[in-house]
Amino acid sequence: MEQAMKNFFLFLSKNQTLNAAAKKWGLRFGANRFVSGETIDEAIAVVRQLNENGLTCTLDHLGEFVFSVEEANESADYCIKTLEAIHRSGVDCNLSLKMTSLGLDISRELCMTNMRRILDTAKQYGNIFVRIDMEDYAHNQVTMDILEELLHEYDNVGTVIQAYLYKAADDIEKLKDKKVNFRLVKGAYKESPEVAFPEKADTDENYKKIIRQHLLNGGYAAVATHDEQIIAYVKQLVEEHNIPRSQFEFQMLYGIRTQSQIDLAREGYKMRVYVPYGKDWYGYFMRRLAERPANVAFVLKGMFSK
């Protein structure tokens, strides 16, 4: 039942008709638990509050279904506005983005032009770090190729390694000399067993493997997880190998396990919160509902209590 529900919400996340309708609804039905707001000012206010609780952040202007050059350039403009807002407000925050929203499916050249615009702006404002979010497997290799090209020009860019992919360890090893800042995740897309581990237990084991691999390679690891066992594993690993806390951080999503985030920060670990914002929140919201039945129960409770 749980897997069927997950597949159902992942299917809904790609529905363009519902995505368009969601923009008219606004952040209703519990979406504001996971999305910080529709405007950059609302998002910055949330980031400032999280900073006051000892948490650092990464902001992401949500975007889905980009089909034109104009839409891609507009999305890049929002990324630049986000960087400007981070700089102007002085909050402790990075930027995350999806390259499909910058025109990757239209042309690689368009995407690269927008990426360079964004990274040049980030460098101008104190070399703010920019994270390229990893999307589905169809975009995986081109993302890794673009990252490798950008690393010849910029030192403030990294991406995401998904543990459920068989190629994860190879991707880390290929760039180990670059000491890339990788966000390490289990992976949230529905992928074929030809490219990804079909069993959760195998994904969990590979997740531990790539965390260990990347840290022992000397790379910076952003361990993005809400899994207590993984968090405990990382704590033990860094202690056993005398890995400094400056070489890694924990990451969690805005609105999920908030007290655990604060507790980790109080223990002296760097704890970064992924904070999404924007009117195009529908796809992100559906993926959060797909992850845990408890999220669906929260939303249903919110809907029927209004």
Which residues are part of the catalytic machinery?
133, 183
- Phi first, then psi: what are they for 162, rounded to 5°? -100, 120
Instruction: Work out the angle at residue 69's Cα, subtended by the Cα atoms of residues 66 and 73, and round it to the nearest 5 degrees.
Output: 85
HSE-up of residue 243 (Cα within 13 Å, Cβ side): 23
In angstroms, the CA 266 to CA 249 distance is: 13
| Strand ranges inside the chain, DSSP E | 56-61, 93-97, 130-132, 157-162, 182-185, 221-224, 248-253, 271-277
Cβ atoms within 10 Å of 113's Cβ, excluding its own: 16
Helix or strand holding residue 211 (H, E)? helix 200-216
HSE-up of residue 179 (Cα within 13 Å, Cβ side): 6
- Surface-to-core class of residue 110, CB atoms within 10 Å of its CB (0-12 exposed, 13-18 middle, 19+ buried): middle
What DSSP line would sit under 222-256, residue for residue?
A: EEE---HHHHHHHHHHHHHTT--GGGEEEEEETTS
DSSP secondary structure code for residue 90 in this structure? T
In angstroms, the CA 306 to CA 299 distance is: 11
Q: Measured between alpha carbons, how far is residue 278 from residues 218, 282, 283, 302, 305 in Å? A: 35, 10, 12, 21, 25
